[in-house]
Amino acid sequence: MSKLTKSFEGLLKSTQLFQQKSGMSFLDSYIENAWNVRNGGVVKNNQGFSEEVIHELEMEYQQLNSLELSAEDWRKTAQLTLLKGQKTEILQANHQMTPDGLAFLFAYLLEQLTSEQKTLTLYDNALGMGNLLFAVMNQLELAGKNVQGAGSEVDDALIAVAEINSMLMDKTVELYLQDGLTEISSFAPDIVLSDFPIGYYPNDEKSKEFKVFESGEHTYAHHLLLESAMKQVKKGGFGLFLLPQDLFLSEQANNLKQWLVEEVYLQAVIQLPETLFQTKGRQKSLYLFQRKGENAKQQEVFAYHLTSLSEKGILAKFLRAFVKWKNDFTKI
């Protein structure tokens, strides 16, 4: 049995036992149980567990911690456990985790774009449970970079998951319990990235602070989050996002296009395989933006239809094309 299988089974078993004995939701049970794992025992017995239950839980914690998991092993263990939990407690589509295949694609593209940088700061202003940010951080660290991370999330349960998972990975990440449109003062990350929730933003007064604001109806949340993220990133910095495939064709596209002309450069659009998205009509593409300033210039847009993430030949052809474009990009 592999180390990852052992860790997944241990974390899942202890979370399910915690849930069964406490009567809490799977997500809340995961948060408290994972906190106990991190601390090596039941920290607070607020649920009034019997000594037998505490002993059974702590045996699982001991076995988990004896595996000496890497940061990436812990991330995968947490991801598998949470995915299993989602089968009994369905999350909103906007709360579901970004698939690993896409997270690794994010990491590869960002590694190529920052090949000359040894230290990076990443920021996700729609963090969710943090799986995308953590996966990218881990991959960039494996590539030899010193990576700092930060994220904002308005849902207290989701950011609690992100916090405990960062602790399991022994990773220092700045987390902000706040709306993703809230600016963080004196903070200009090198890279912003996110898998934005799709829908309408209900606070019209807040929306009026942004150039993509739509009068007469609620503004798309993903338009607002995009503008906010690109306002936060350093001048000349990149933003890589999962956004609707028809981003510039929607009924709210005009103000978005005007903002784009004034504030950023669209450098790449990568259409992703339809099989990645369970709901028809919710297909997304990867968009690479660059904030104006610091010698940033509009390049020839890298437009590519990636038809598979699993077929090695197709993926290799795409990666070669992106590297060639990036090399031409850096020469200009």
The residue among 56, 86, 116 that closes a domain is: 86
In this structure, the answer to whether residues 115 and 80 fall within a common structural domain is no
Residues 144 and 67 in one domain: no
125 and 253, same domain (yes or no): yes
Residues 69 and 104 in one domain: no
pLDDT tens digit string along 252-296?
999 999 999 999 999 999 999 988 876 666 789 999 999 998 789
- d(Cα 226, Cα 332) in Å, to the nearest integer? 26
Which DSSP string do the residues of 130-199 spell out, in sequence order? Answer: SHHHHHHHHHHHHTT-EEEEEEEES-HHHHHHHHHHHHHTT--EEEEES-TTSPPTT---SEEEEE---S
pLDDT, residue 216, reads 85
**End of a domain among 86, 110, 129?**
86
Same domain, 208 and 80: no
Residue 319 pLDDT > 50? yes
* 44 plus 98 within the same structural domain: no
| pLDDT, greater one: 294 or 84 | 84
> 313 and 267, same structural domain?
yes
- CATH number of the domain enclosing 197: 3.40.50.150
Q: What is the pLDDT of residue 91?
A: 60
Domain boundary among 86, 110, 134: 86
Residues 138 and 268 in one domain: yes
The angle, 0 to 180 degrees and rounded to 10, between the axes of the packed helices 71-86 and 156-168 is 140
For 202, the token pair is: 């209900």
Whole-angstrom Cα distance, residue 100 to residue 104?
6
Is it the case that residue 332 has pLDDT exceeding 50? Answer: no
Same domain, 287 and 211: yes
Task: Name the domain count of the chain.
Answer: 2
Structural domain span for residue 57: 3-86
pTM passes above 0.85: yes
pLDDT at residue 329, as a whole number: 74
Rg (the chain; Cα; Å): 21
124 and 236 fall within a common domain: yes
Q: What is the per-residue pLDDT across 19-75, written as a single tens digit (0 to 9) for each? A: 999 999 999 999 999 999 999 999 888 888 999 999 999 999 999 999 999 999 999
Phi (first) and psi of residue 272, to 5 degrees:
-100, 160
Distance (Å, rounded) from C-alpha 298 to C-alpha 25? 49
Residues 156 and 16 in one domain: no
* Per-residue confidence (pLDDT) for residue 93, from 0 to 100: 57
- The CATH code of the domain that includes 36 is 1.10.150.470
> Are 227 and 285 part of one and the same domain?
yes
Task: Give the residue carrying structure tokens 């309408």.
Answer: 200
Q: Which residues contact 182 (CB under 8 A, 6 or more apart)?
A: 152, 176
Q: Where does residue 65 fall: left (phi above 0), alpha (psi -120 to 50 degrees), or beta otherwise?
A: alpha
